Structure formats: C-alpha cells, structure tokens
Amino acid sequence: MKFSCSKKDFTEALQVVSKAASNKQQMPILSGIYLKADNYSLELQATDYELGFIVKIQANVESPGQIVLSGRFLQEVVRKLPTEQVIFSFDKEENIAHIQSGQANFTLLSMNASEFPIIHHFEGDLEFAMENDVLQDLVKKTVFSCSTDETRPVFTGCYMEVDNDTITMAATNTHRLSVKSITLDLPIGAIKIIIPAKSLNELLHIMNPDNPTTVHITCSHNRISFSFDNIYMTSRLIEGAFPDYKKVIPNDFSTKVTVDTDLFSAAIDRVSLISRSNEYNIIRLSFTQGQIHISSNNPDIGKAEETVPASVEGPDVNIAFNAKYVTDVFKNIQTNECVLYLQQSLRPMSVRENNNDTFLYVVTPVRTAH
C-alpha cells in the first residue's frame, strides 16, 4: 500500500470521519480510522456502530491496500505535517505505516484491519434529495428540543415523517415540542423514522451552508444515510413508536402576541440571569395591552424585570416558563418578528415565525405558587 495526497484534503477528511471514532475501551478497533487506497482515491472510514462516515479524497495510488490506524494520532500527525504533500506507505511485514512530508517522517503502529467493521453503502426503502440549506433548517429548528435522557430513547431523536411531497420533522422532551415541515417538488413515498439527535448534530457540524450542495438521503426501517460532496454519513435509527405529538399542539388561542424577535430574546436572556442558578429556572411573562413584562426572582440573589413593546391581541395572560425552554427557540427563529399564541396560564404557548407556518414550537408552562 502506497499513496500520496494533499495534506489539506487528508486533514479535512480526518476531521469528518474522526467524529464517529469511539473512545470506548472495550472495543479499541473502533478508535481506529480505516484507510483504503485504490483507483486514484483514498477512502477513510470510522464508525462507533451508531454513526459511521465514509469520506473519499483524491490520491495518487502507487499500490492499493488497506490499513487501520489510531484515529487520534493519525489526525494530529497529519494536521501538523510541514508540507502540502503527504506520502503514505504501509509495510505489511513490519505492520507499520510510514508518513512522510518534507523533512518529517512518522511511523505509526497499525491496528488489525480485519477487525474493523467496514461500512457499506446500503439500499434503502426510500430515496430522496434536498439542498443542504433546507436540510440544515429542518434539523436545526427541531433537534434542540430532543431529550438527553437515555432511559426514554424515542425522545432522544427527531421523528421524521415523509408523506408524498411533505417532510415533517418533530422533536420533544415532553415539556416542549418543535415541528418543522418542508414541501418537495415531487411526491417521494412514505416513511416514519426516529433519527438520533447525536447523529443529526454531527450532520449539522459537517454541513457547510455557505457551500450549496445537494444531499442525497436514503432510509430503511433501521438505518439512514446522508450523502453529499465526498461525504457519506450513515446512522442507525431509534426503535420505538414516537408519540402522537399532534395531540399536544393547541388548536385554539385567546391571545395573539407579535413581538420583535431580537428584543424579546435579549430581554429573556437578561432576566433569566437571575433565575438560572435556581433549581427550576423560572421566568414569568405577563402579556398586557402593548407590552410583555418579563420577570424572575431568586430569593438568594435578587430580582430582574424588563418590559418589551409588543402587539397583544386578546385578554391579558400571566404565565411562567422554564427560561431555557423559552430562550432556546429564539436562537432558531429567522424572522424579525415572531408570534406567540396563548390561552390561559396553565395551557401551552405556541411560537411561530411571522408569516411562516412551516415551523411551530410548543412549550408547557410551569405551575407556580403565585
């Protein structure tokens, strides 16, 4: 096995695949990165069985072959090489990889390539494609609502429902719910799956929205893959039935509030400084004619209150929330104004982008003493 390639390409590919390399002591092979040189290309793979990456880069392959090396050291060594040209060779008898760049020479002990669980592209029940900025929006607006409590796995992922030409993604931790939908140009079939939040967060990290590209998605009942540019990412799915989230979406409201997103978001952020160290992190919202009054109270620290101008249509409402559940959503609202729908102090509040009904956020209030 011998090839040469660009340091920049090699470094970028290692950055992507290493996100799936595991540090679990029980399975040392999963901390490795699999390299396969063949036909003018170098393929890199890493997987922790949940998540897997295949990245291909151009390479001048003198003799083909495959090897598994410690992900951590390979990544650090390649990133620090002194020149753009990397010459890589593997001496099978010595079981040692040689990496040369300029005056620098590294040898790295190899792992047993036959133990590595090689990832294969899989055939799915459903295949479709979308632009990366559309996919990013779909994921970003929902994944933050997932639970991190591993004892209830279905809530640690985003539910994706494909129905003809509509894709809906939903996520909830049972206290708040995000739902975002998009419409495709063509009907593509139907499927209902739950994708782990961890995998979707890694997808967000490696997608660059400044570089427009098309993402090809393949789903089966237990796997999903995302393929774009030189990257193939595959993730297992979460088994189980996602609850009927539509039940918790309020279907009527008495008070509709339109407010400047940034003003409201900054005020909540400030007021919650005081509640944050409190166990329940509670902020109170009071909607009255022309304004929202936001307040928090922490007996050990002090109080905070602020008033934000808003268009309030309907009766006054006094309501309290976990501050985090209210601040989180505004980081993902892209319109200058947002709209809040309320009914009573113990009924959920809905949040929407102004003039855009493809995104919905529902948050349950907290019951407070006064």
Query: Site residues (CB under 8 A) for its own copies?
Result: 70, 73, 76-77, 80-82, 96-97, 103-109, 266-267, 269-271, 273-274, 300-308
Q: Which is nearer to its own copies, 215 or 304 (CB)?
A: 304
Tell me the closest approach of the beta carbon of residue 38 to its own copies, in angstroms.
Answer: 24
Which amino acid is present at 182? I
Question: In a 3-state reduction of DSSP, which class is residue 309?
Answer: strand
Cα three-residue angle 197-363-204, rounded to 5 degrees: 25
Q: Which is nearer to its own copies, 104 or 190 (CB)?
A: 104
Rounded Cα distance, 11 and 146, in Å: 32
Q: Which residue has the tokens 């620290």?
A: 301
Q: Which is nearer to its own copies, 95 or 174 (CB)?
A: 95
Rounded Cα distance, 334 and 339, in Å: 12
Tell me the closest approach of the beta carbon of residue 278 to its own copies, in angstroms.
Answer: 12
Q: Which is nearer to its own copies, 298 or 364 (CB)?
A: 298
Q: What interhelical angle do 71-79 and 7-17 show, nearest 10? A: 150
Tell me the closest approach of the beta carbon of residue 15 to its own copies, in angstroms.
Answer: 16
Tell me the closest approach of the beta carbon of residue 345 to its own copies, in angstroms.
Answer: 23
3-state per-residue secondary structure call for 211-254 = CCCEEEEEECCCEEEEEECCEEEEEECCCCCCCCHHHHCCCCCC
**Tokens standing for residue 188:** 């593509």
**Tokens standing for residue 324:** 């985090």
Tell me the closest approach of the beta carbon of residue 273 to its own copies, in angstroms.
Answer: 5
Tell me the closest approach of the beta carbon of residue 107 to its own copies, in angstroms.
Answer: 5
On whether the CB atoms of residues 325 and 365 are closer than 8 A, the answer is no
Tell me the closest approach of the beta carbon of residue 77 to its own copies, in angstroms.
Answer: 6
Q: Which residue, among 19, 9, 11, 12, has the nearest Cα to 52 in the 3D structure?
A: 19
Q: Which is nearer to its own copies, 109 or 346 (CB)?
A: 109
Q: Which is nearer to its own copies, 97 or 138 (CB)?
A: 97
Q: Which is nearer to its own copies, 47 or 70 (CB)?
A: 70
Tell me the closest approach of the beta carbon of residue 302 to its own copies, in angstroms.
Answer: 4
Tell me the closest approach of the beta carbon of residue 200 to its own copies, in angstroms.
Answer: 30
Q: How far is CA 288 from CA 310, 315, 337, in A?
A: 9, 8, 18
Cα three-residue angle 322-328-331, rounded to 5 degrees: 155
Rounded Cα distance, 51 and 20, in Å: 6
Q: Which is nearer to its own copies, 80 or 246 (CB)?
A: 80
Question: In a 3-state reduction of DSSP, which class is residue 293?
Answer: strand
Tell me the closest approach of the beta carbon of residue 342 to its own copies, in angstroms.
Answer: 21
Q: Which is nearer to its own copies, 169 or 268 (CB)?
A: 268
Q: Which is nearer to its own copies, 147 or 296 (CB)?
A: 296
Q: Residue 188 phi/psi, 5° resolution?
A: -125, 5
- CA dihedral sign of residues 266, 360, 154, 125: negative
Rounded Cα distance, 121 and 251, in Å: 43
362 contacts: CB under 8 Å, gap ≥ 6: 176, 177, 179, 248, 249, 250, 348, 349, 350, 351
Question: In a 3-state reduction of DSSP, which class is residue 17?
Answer: helix
